[in-house]
Structure 1
Amino acid sequence: MKIAIVGYGKMGKIIDGISQNRGHEVVARLKETPTKESLNNADVVIEFSNPEAAFHNISVCLENQIPVICGTTGWLDKKPAVEQLAIDNGTAFLYGSNFSLGVNLFFALNENLAKMMSRFNEYSCQLEEIHHIHKKDAPSGTAISLAEGIIANSGYEAWKLDETKDKELGIFAIRKDEVPGTHSVFYRSEVDEIEIKHTAYNRNGFALGAVIAAEWIADKKGVFSMKDVLGL
């Protein structure tokens, strides 16, 4: 495939290497807002930029009928508009708060555990995420996805950063050193604690998942997630 990378930072460079190792041609490496010309007739765009630029970047690509794989977090208030844009232009859009195979299995485990724990009022739930000090958004997109999975399968009604009350689910965001990403879900009672945890050792798993998603979406139209890609 011909792949355009929009947002050429640390992740973009890893995606570049993995794409070429898997036999694809990287036809654009863009740090700025794409244009029809700069996308160089790409078959698919992989977008890892920043929360301020993501919406405009994605919109340009979809308006030119190029499918987009997006891993940028922190802009999701505009996600419904992007999804409609993909449908209106007869192309495809896939957002992933985290493209790692392990994290997506962790999402499924999280939802199943939430269903089990919802029967036991003795336990309260809390989330913790740890990322590198350069990460701009808090909580992380992955933590929000975990929270949404719990809310959909329990009595919690909303998530909130830090301290909570009533039926709010607390997320604690820690920024430390160069940590790629650690996410923990705790269920605590007066007598014990249950914890599930995912620890990323580096960014390679995120990048590989994004390229696999790009390969999967190439001939499709509509709005998708990593659950579709992995058959979860």
Structure 2
Amino acid sequence: MNERNDKERSMNIAIVGYGKMGHMVEAAAKSLGHAVASTIDTRAEDATVRITEGDGATLADAVRRSGADGVIEFSHPSAAAGNVRALLPLRLPLVVGTTGWKAEEAGIRALAAASGGTAVRSANFSLGVNLFYRIVSEAARIVSAFDEYDCAVWEVHHNQKADSPSGTAMEIAHRILAEDGRKTALVTSAVTRKPEPHELHVSSTRIGSVPGTHTVFFDSGADTIEMTHRARSREGFARGAVHALARLSRALEAGTLKPGALYGAEDIL
């Protein structure tokens, strides 16, 4: 996300989840002129506040006491939905980078409307990935007119990643489904049979320290079209999340986004 204007007003940011990504978010926030009001985690010994997973009341109280005027959540898929539920009633701008809680989204959207809390959630806040989403959507629309081409998605991440497939891969897959009417079902497990033509296979590899690689294949008998986004580091995800919080805060103040809603990264690009 473009850094222009993100330094206009310094924010006090609370970081929920202080693992590798939380530390990167802290460094990114400080480098962009923001202050870190608090770091909150269930296990990290260097976090300013330690809480028990699932203790939403303590989480909300810790953020409230910190004096933060915005929150970035990068925890764990098992904790994300509960954290978001605890944080929305504070009515602070909230950015959620944790994936793996898609099944809870409808209920959280309803809570946002009822509480007046506002969040931006995305599987990936890097500018490049959000541009890649748009490119994939357009490519899928174009290729869908040619029956010769089949499609698949492959993603690779480091061996410490908790969820599979990645949230970014699933977002890519859903965008393909939205544009290509020939594909109506996702398959994310190993395929040990002949795949059906209407199935879109999303495969995953976990190895080493790969920060994130996502490839979309359009394949025919004559050739293959490959589109790949390859992250060089996770720093871009962290900086993107900080920019997203700054943009969300400004949009709420300006009235270009309404409170009480769950937004996506595309709403603030």
Question: Counterpart amino acid of 1:159?
Answer: L
- What does the per-residue CA deviation read over 1:196-218, in whole Å, with 9 as the maximum and x for residues that have no partner? 00000100110011001000111
Residue pair 2:153, 2:202 contacting (<8 A) in 1 also: yes
Q: Which has the larger radius of gyration?
A: 2
Give yes or no for contact 1:61–1:67 (8 Å, CA) kept in 2: no
The answer to whether residue 152 in structure 2 is matched with residue 126 in structure 1 is yes
Matching residue of 2:264: 225
Q: Secondary structure at the match of 1:35?
A: helix
SS of the residue corresponding to residue 110 of structure 2 reads helix
What is the match of residue 59 of structure 2?
35
Q: Tell me, yes or no, if structure 1 residue 15 matches structure 2 residue 15.
A: no
Runs in 1 of length 4+ with deviation above 6 angstroms?
A: none
1:68 to 65, 89, 94: 94
CA RMSD of aligned residues (A): 1.2
Aligned with 1:119: secondary structure? Answer: coil
- Counterpart for residue 207 of structure 1: 238
* Partner Cα separation in structure 2 for residue 78 and residue 88 of structure 1: 16
TM-score computed with the length of structure 1 as normaliser: 0.95
Q: Kindly provide the amino acid, as one letter, of the partner of residue 84 in structure 1.
A: A
What's the secondary structure of 2:135's corresponding residue? helix
The alignment's TM-score, normalised by the length of structure 2, stands at 0.83
After alignment, is 114-123 or 61-70 more displaced?
61-70
Q: Contact between 1:44 and 1:66, CA under 8 Å: does it hold in 2?
A: yes
Matched residue type, 1:128: W
* Equivalence for 1:98: 124
The AA in structure 2 aligned to 1:109 is I
Aligned equivalent of 2:70, options 44, 47, 51? 44
Which residue among 1, 5, 15 is the counterpart of 1:5?
15
| Aligned partner of residue 106 in structure 2, secondary structure | helix
Matched, 1:25 2:35: yes
What's the CA shift for 1:84?
1.6
Q: How many percent identity over aligned positions?
A: 40
Q: Give the deviation of 1:223 after TM superposition.
A: 2.2
Equivalent residue, structure 2, for 1:158: 185
Check if 1:216 corresponds to 2:226: no
Q: For residues 114-166 of structure 1, what are the alpha-carbon distances to aligned partners after superposition, in whole Å with 9 as ceiling and x for unaligned?
A: 00001001000000000001111110000000000000000211211142423
Distance in 2 (alpha carbons) for counterparts of 1:42 and 1:216: 16
Structure 1 residue 91: deviation in Å? Answer: 2.2
C-alpha distance after superposition, 1:72-114 (max 9, x if no partner): 1112100111122112111211111011100000000000000
State the one-letter code of the partner of 2:135.
L
Match of 2:170 among 125, 134, 144: 144
